[in-house]
């Protein structure tokens, strides 16, 4: 297959591009490298240093003989994107290329409008390009489990059958997202569903949980191929932050009571899920939704898991509860279905001491690079003024 990976310089896009290239597909990466400039803006950085995208692709070619084509530019700029899309003529597109941090989208009005413009306009451009130039092309779009929020009923995979006043229909599952970023994903889902209906294109929305881990078969070929590792309060996940805090000997900072429950998955399973979606495409006109995660944890459980793994290294990690900067339920029902990818053959890797250990080992090797001042939360959901980031 000819596969265009949009956002291929990012945490997930890079190892996905390598994985698909390793499997013999013709892969191109399209990215405007904006993720690197968020770091410059915030004074943060990936803990694992990553070479430029040009160097990474060159190295991949030297090591494996596989060529990955590069398109450096903005998906939101149709004068750049349309010729790039037509030139590569993909059979499938994997779309990772969005601003993906909830706190970043909540900094202030400018960051909220940037996030929604970047994500919604980018996806619209992609939908138009597919409809106009490659109507058979399969869109595999990264959504998020955060689109659903935390309803007090089981979360279905995309759709729910409702009987109301004696009549029954199958409708999109209600969405109650918790940030302007998550809302951008909901807007995307609606736009993609509409495009499938009116133009007959084929799309899979992967409502993904929080991803952990850094190593994959392809990136393990050379340390310079490793993907980025974010631990700062804006782009880092709770698990990454806890691991860095444990290694640095400072308390693990749990927001509020820590009862916030979410779906999680190993980065190797992200690659497997994307590949399964590509190999089993949606039908023409079908808008398919898969919930892409393998296990549920709450934030306090994650802290306890890291504390336990750290103890094996003689580290006595302490857990500290911080005032929650977000507006979210800290104790709630959560039971989300995640069967469709298993039915397609996904064999999950579960979160284990061994995995946490391997990440701790990598973090320990880069401990001297940790920027301690980026770990504490600086973005508050309720803030009406935003003096820290203009
Ligand atoms: N990382 C997770 O745990 C997670 C969980 C659920 C969903 N997702 C989704 O998966 C996708 C990838 O996540 P990630 O963690 O790899 O993010 P990331 O920020 O590391 O990567 C995103 C990439 O997209 C690029 N990009 C952004 N806007 C672009 C534009 N307008 N034009 C071209 N390129 C653009 C960035 O430069 C970056 O390289 C995102 O859509 C995210 O919402 C991620």
Name every residue whose Cβ is closer than 8 Å to that of residue 136 and which is 6 or more positions away in sequence: 91, 202, 284
Give me 356's structure tokens: 């946490």
How would you classify residue 165: left for phi > 0, otherwise alpha for psi between -120 and 50, otherwise beta?
left
* Domain at 2-374, CATH homologous superfamily: NAD(P)-binding Rossmann-like Domain (3.40.50.720)
**Residue 84 beta carbon below 6 angstroms from any ligand 1 atom:** no
Enter the DSSP assignment of 226: P
Phi-psi region of 374 (alpha: psi -120 to 50; beta: other; left: phi over 0): alpha
Per-residue pLDDT reduced to its tens digit, 111-162: 999 999 999 999 999 999 999 999 999 999 999 999 999 999 999 999 999 9
**Which tokens is 333 given?**
């029902």
User: Mind listing the pLDDT tens digit for each residue in 20-74?
Assistant: 999 999 999 999 999 999 999 999 999 999 999 999 999 999 999 999 999 999 9
Q: How much of the chain exceeds pLDDT 70, in percent?
A: 98
Q: List the domain boundaries for the chain.
A: 2-374
With beta carbons less than 8 A apart as the criterion, state whether 276 and 345 touch.
Answer: yes
Q: Measured from the CA of 235, which atom of ligand 1 is nearest?
A: 19
Cα separation of 328 and 295, whole Å? 20
Q: Which of 115, 123, 144, 216 is catalytic?
A: 144
Contact (Cβ atoms closer than 8 angstroms) between residue 284 and residue 215: no
**Closest approach atom of ligand 1 to CA 74:** 32
pLDDT digits (tens, 9 = 90+) for 213-225: 999 999 999 999 9
Ligand 1 and 100: CB distance under 6 A = yes
Average pLDDT value over all residues in the chain: 97
Answer whether 177 contacts ligand 1 (Cβ < 6 A). no
Does the C-beta of 8 come closer than 6 Å to ligand 1?
no
Atom of ligand 1 nearest to the CA of 97: 24
Quick check: is 185 catalytic?
A: yes
Structure tokens at 246: 């444990």
Per-residue pLDDT at 383: 73
Q: How far is the CA of 8 from the centre of ligand 1 (A)?
A: 8
Going from the Cα of 129 to the center of ligand 1, the distance in angstroms, rounded, reads 20
Beta partners for 155? 336
144 touches ligand 1 (CB under 6 Å): yes
Phi, psi of 175, rounded to the nearest 5 degrees: -115, 130
**144 in catalytic set:** yes
Of 4, 8, 11, the one to substitute when testing ligand 1's pocket (max ligand atoms within 8 A of C-beta) is 11
Residue 106 banded pLDDT, cuts 50, 70, 90? very high
Residue nearest to atom 36 of ligand 1 (CA): 35
Q: What is the pTM for the complete model shown?
A: 0.97
Q: What ligand 1 atom has the least distance to the C-alpha of 230?
A: 20
Q: Which residue is closest in CA terms to ligand 1's atom 35?
A: 97
How far is the C-alpha of 246 from the C-alpha of 319, rounded, in Å? 10
Q: How far apart are CA 200 and CA 112, in angstroms?
A: 31
pLDDT computed for residue 390 by the predictor? 42
Mean pLDDT of the region 236-264? 98
**pLDDT at 364 exceeding the cut of 90:** yes
pLDDT tens digit string along 64-103?
999 999 999 999 999 999 999 999 999 999 999 999 999 9
In ligand 1, the atom with minimum distance to the C-alpha of 8 is 39
* C-alpha neighbours within 13 Å on the C-beta side of residue 331: 2
Give dist(CA 222, CA 220) in Å, integer. Answer: 5
Q: How far is the CA of 98 from the centre of ligand 1 (A)?
A: 5
* 9, 12, 103, best to mutate for ligand 1 pocket (most atoms within 8 Å of CB): 12
Query: Do 293 and 209 touch, CB atoms closer than 8 A?
Result: yes
**Mean per-residue pLDDT for 190-216?**
98
Share of the chain above pLDDT 90, in %: 98
Question: Annotated catalytic, 113?
Answer: no
Concatenating the DSSP letter of every residue in 287-330 gives EEEEEE-SEEEEHHHHHHHHHHHHHTTT----EEEEPPSS---S
245 burial via Cβ count (<10 Å: 0-12, 13-18, 19+): buried
Q: Which atom in ligand 1 lies closest to the alpha carbon of residue 292? A: 6
Ligand 1 probe mutation, 100, 103, 178, 268, most atoms within 8 A of CB: 100
Q: What's residue 294's pLDDT?
A: 98
Which one is catalytic: 185, 261, 270, 334?
A: 185
Q: Measured in angstroms, how far is the CA atom of residue 169 from the centroid of ligand 1?
A: 34
pLDDT at 389 over 90: no
């Amino acid at each position: 297959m000819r596969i265009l990976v949009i956002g291929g310089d990012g945490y997930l896009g890079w190892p996905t591009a390598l994985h698909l290239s390793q499997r013999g597909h013709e892969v191109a990466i399209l990215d405007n490298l904006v993720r690197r400039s968020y770091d410059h803006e915030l004074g943060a950085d990936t803990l694992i240093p990553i070479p430029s995208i040009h160097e990474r692709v060159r190295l991949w070619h030297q090591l494996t003989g596989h060529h990955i084509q590069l398109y450096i530019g903005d998906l939101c700029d149709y004068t750049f994107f349309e010729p790039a899309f037509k030139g590569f003529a993909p059979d499938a597109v994997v779309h990772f290329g969005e601003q993906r941090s909830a706190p970043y989208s909540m900094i202030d009005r400018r960051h909220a409008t940037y996030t929604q413009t970047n994500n919604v306009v980018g996806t619209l451009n992609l939908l138009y390009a597919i409809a106009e130039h490659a109507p058979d092309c399969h869109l595999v779009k990264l959504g998020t489990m955060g689109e659903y929020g935390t309803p007090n009923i089981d979360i279905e995979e995309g759709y729910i059958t409702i009987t109301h006043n004696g009549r029954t229909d199958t409708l999109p599952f209600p969405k109650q997202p918790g940030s302007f970023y998550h809302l951008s994903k909901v807007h995307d889902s609606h736009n993609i569903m509409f495009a499938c209906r009116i133009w007959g294109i084929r799309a899979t929305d992967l409502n993904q949980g929080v991803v952990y881990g850094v190593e994959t078969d392809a990136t393990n070929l050379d340390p310079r191929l490793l993907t980025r590792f974010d631990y700062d309060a804006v782009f880092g996940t709770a698990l990454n932050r806890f691991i860095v805090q444990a290694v640095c000997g400072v308390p693990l900072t749990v927001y509020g009571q820590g009862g916030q429950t979410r779906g999680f998955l190993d980065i190797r399973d992200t690659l497997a899920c994307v590949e399964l979606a590509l190999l089993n495409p949606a039908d023409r006109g079908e808008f398919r939704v898969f919930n892409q995660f393998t296990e549920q944890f709450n934030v306090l459980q994650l802290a306890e898991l890291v504390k336990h793994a750290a103890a094996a290294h003689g580290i006595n990690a302490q857990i500290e509860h911080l005032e929650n900067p977000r507006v979210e339920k800290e104790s709630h029902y959560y039971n989300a279905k995640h069967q469709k990818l298993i039915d397609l053959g996904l064999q999950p890797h579960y979160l284990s001491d061994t995995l946490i250990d391997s990440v701790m080992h990598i973090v320990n090797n880069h401990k001297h690079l940790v920027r301690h001042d980026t770990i504490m939360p600086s973005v508050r959901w309720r803030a009406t003024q935003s003096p820290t980031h203009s």
